[in-house]
Amino acid sequence: MARAVSTRRKVFTTALAWGLGLAIFFPIFWTVLTSFKTEAEAIADPPLWVNFHWTLENYVTVQERSDYFRHFWNSVVISVGSTLVGLIIAVPAAWAMAFVPGKRTKDVLMWMLSTKMLPPVGVLVPLYLIFRNLGLLDTRTGLVIVLTLINLPIIIWMLYTYFKEIPVDILEAARMDGAGLRNEILYVLTPMAVPGIASTLLLNIILAWNEAFWTLNLTAAKAAPLTAFIASYSSPEGLFYAKLSAASTMAIAPILIMGWFSQKQLVRGLTFGAVK
């Protein structure tokens, strides 16, 4: 029998959740609001909340100065491409770690995760030189490779967690029916783990979309994604806050819309296997 929750506790929990949600959302709200101000209004003291001259001039200027759609397409190719390549590698790897007995599985997983603890700047110079010699600088292919390697430990960790929730008996039954390794992964394991795979895909697209360090250091113009598009509005003369806010709004809008429409699938995947 479920324990009754008092009204006071419900009110407190709801208020706390709304407070945290608003605190997290406020920077996005303020960025969007600032994007409709003039540069003078953007730095006004005290800040202007509603009583200002609403304008779309910043968006027009941003599009005229920088080709937004070219940067947007680069972000789509780099984030989706790196995630799909990562999934192709991670699904068999996570299957092997989850269903093939091995004493060193945990050690391998921890070693993979430890690579995320390395400061990226520590390998910037050698990676830059390798990319320069291979002709991968300022190319979408180069960024897809880098972001795949960066996010691969997270993808494998997440898929391993989801695969461990799938009963081994189902896979053994498929093997007894004559399913080979390829068919077992494609037609038995993958369909059962669709919620987990979908949430992994969505989260890693977001991570790749927001990656700034590597995109700023390994691109110049041709393959520059939206992170470089935003950074172009920071100059030695100062920050153009209104135009920077407009560029930021245009950069985060696609990923916010994707997250909004896929939130049910995302939550389902994150809670996959939590309740039996």
Cβ burial 213-237 (10 Å sphere, 16+ → b, else e): ebbebbbeeebbbbbbbbeebeeee
- pLDDT by residue, tens only, the chain of 276 residues: 446 667 888 888 899 999 998 998 899 899 999 999 988 888 888 888 888 888 888 898 888 888 888 999 999 999 999 999 999 999 888 888 888 777 787 888 888 888 888 888 888 899 999 999 998 998 999 999 999 999 999 899 888 888 888 888 888 788 787 777 778 777 888 888 888 888 888 889 988 998 989 988 898 888 889 888 888 777 655 568 888 889 889 988 888 888 787 777 666 656 655 444
Domains of the chain as residue ranges with CATH: 66-232 (1.10.3720.10)
* Distances in whole angstroms, Cα of residue 269 to Cα of each of 131, 191, 220: 36, 13, 37
Model confidence pLDDT, tens digit, residues 62-91: 888 888 889 999 999 999 999 999 999 998
Residue 250 parent element (H or E): helix 241-261
Give me the residue label for tokens 């995320």.
Answer: 116
CB 39 within 8 A of CB 239: no
CA distance 21 to 74: 31
3-state secondary structure of 218: coil
CA distance 101 to 81: 32
